[in-house]
Amino acid sequence: MVTVIINIVVFIFVLGLVILIHELGHFIMAKRANILCHEFSLGMGPVLWSKRVNETLYAVRAIPIGGYVMMAGEEVKEEVISVGQLVRLVFDDFNNIVKIIIDHENELYEQYELVTVKSIDLRGESNTPLHLNEYTVKRNAFYVFRKSKELQIAPIERSFESKTKFERFLAIFAGPFMNFVLALFIFIIVNLIVGFPNMDETVLGGIEPDFPAGELLIEGDEIISINGENVYSWDDISATLDENPTDRLVEFVVLRGGVEETIDVTPIIFFYTVGFHSQEGAVSDLILGEVNLETKAGKAGLLEGDEILTIDDVAMNSWSDVATAFENNEYGIEMSIEVLRGTQTLAFDISPYNHDLVISQGLMVVESFVGISPIYEFNFFRSFSASFGDIETSAAMIFTTLDLLFSNDQVGVGDLAGPVGIYSITSRALSAGFISFLTWTALLSVNLGVINLLPIPALDGGRLVFLGYEVITTKKPNRRVENTLHYAMYLLLMGLFVYITFNDILRLFSIR
């Protein structure tokens, strides 16, 4: 229970951080351009906490899935009140209007003067005075709505639409940009802590205790040869191990304490198209290791300890036979796998991922692991330069995923992760260690930045498209049309959000 609470707190913190940084970017550049910001909100839905500081209402809302900065000039209607409307007016000592009460029937305000709006100008083009009927309206006056909600009026010079194209560009782009800045800062920290692999040597720097090498090889061993082939760099080691991923006994000759030793290691074979792997130590027996329920294998019904007998009615006599069966199934055609479970023989139908999908994720169709890694060395200057590459790699992963949504029929919207999925990934990253958690936070921040730059209405990228239209045509787009498109797409995105969240919950409880 304590772990769950910690995971929830960390999830809210991480999601809140990347959203806060994003909205802070919008807010800072808007304030710098003297744009009136009505509200700075973290989260969506009902208000948990709010406080007005001068002209801006700062709020924390119940659902930690987003946030927004409400800027003056982004509304569909230019005026909140119109001629013929009844309002109550609050005056200062100089008979200037400081509050316009829209909720004029509220008994809380019945002591204030009730008037019918006959003429009004609350924009003040060319810095002309604002007025309502014969009264002057202060440029920082407030509207008062139901439940005493207040909103400062927005003269033209405080409006988003009145600013230069460059100022508006900065106010829009600053949100995603700040996400990239946050990610860069985190990647620099990670690179400073972790360092960089020395690929020019064959000395072991890390041994995974849960992998085959854990009890056989030790840090500091210098690998001289693998299966009789001399190796001189870490690239040589990788190439030799990848050459025959189904080898069941890999012979390492290492230099340990000045003495050469020969050590046989049985790798674990991973089959990424279906998501299962060989049981540790399984040489001739085709026994599966732990099977994640979210993988193709897990959803088909395969379990840890199952022994593979046949694939598509062809007897499997070795792991090489199993690898060949999956390597030959390039397009992800449904396969029948017969296994021995205890004393029962069971058959399962499974549709692997096609090879293009697996390769696009930087994986191999079949790959073996022994659990070794090179020495990592500290490099101060490279930590900074490499962090830009980390952002580029993270962004490329997102575009690859988006491409797969449209080009690969094995990937659909239901496979995307919403808040519940992000919570699940955050929990796993946290359990994997501090570095894994930091890396995931950076990736999430890049994700938010990239997604918001997509040219879709309701996102920052959509607003930049309209700004680009204005730059090219020298004409401002119709505000009503633009905001209607933003609102309509917002509703569609909320529907998509609900759908993705529903699928997240199904996956979380393993009922699909």
The backbone region for 113, taken as left when phi is positive above 0, alpha when psi lies in -120 to 50, beta otherwise, is beta
Q: Where would I find the beta strands (DSSP E) of 312-439?
A: 314-315, 335-341, 344-350, 366-369, 372-374, 376-377
Find out whether 133 and 127 touch, Cβ atoms under 8 Å. Answer: no
Longest Cα–Cα distance of the chain, Å, equals: 99
Rounded Cα distance, 37 and 69, in Å: 7
Query: CA Rg, the chain, in Å?
Result: 31
- What is the rounded distance in angstroms from the CA atom of residue 104 to the CA atom of residue 113? 9
| Three state DSSP letters for 289-348 | CCCCCCCHHHHHCCCCCCEEEEECCEECCCHHHHHHHHHHCCCCCCEEEEEEECCEEEEE
What are the angstrom distances between the C-alpha of 232 and each of 227, 243, 471, 489? 14, 16, 57, 56
Which residues are tagged catalytic? 23
Measured CA to CA, the distance from residue 243 to residue 234 in angstroms comes to 14
* Residues whose CB falls within 8 Å of the CB of residue 234, separated by 6 or more in sequence, listed in order: 197, 198, 199, 200, 201, 202, 374
Contact 35, 160 (CB under 8 A): yes
Rounded Cα–Cα distance for residues 77 and 475 (Å)? 19
What are residue 155's phi and psi, to 5 degrees? -60, 160
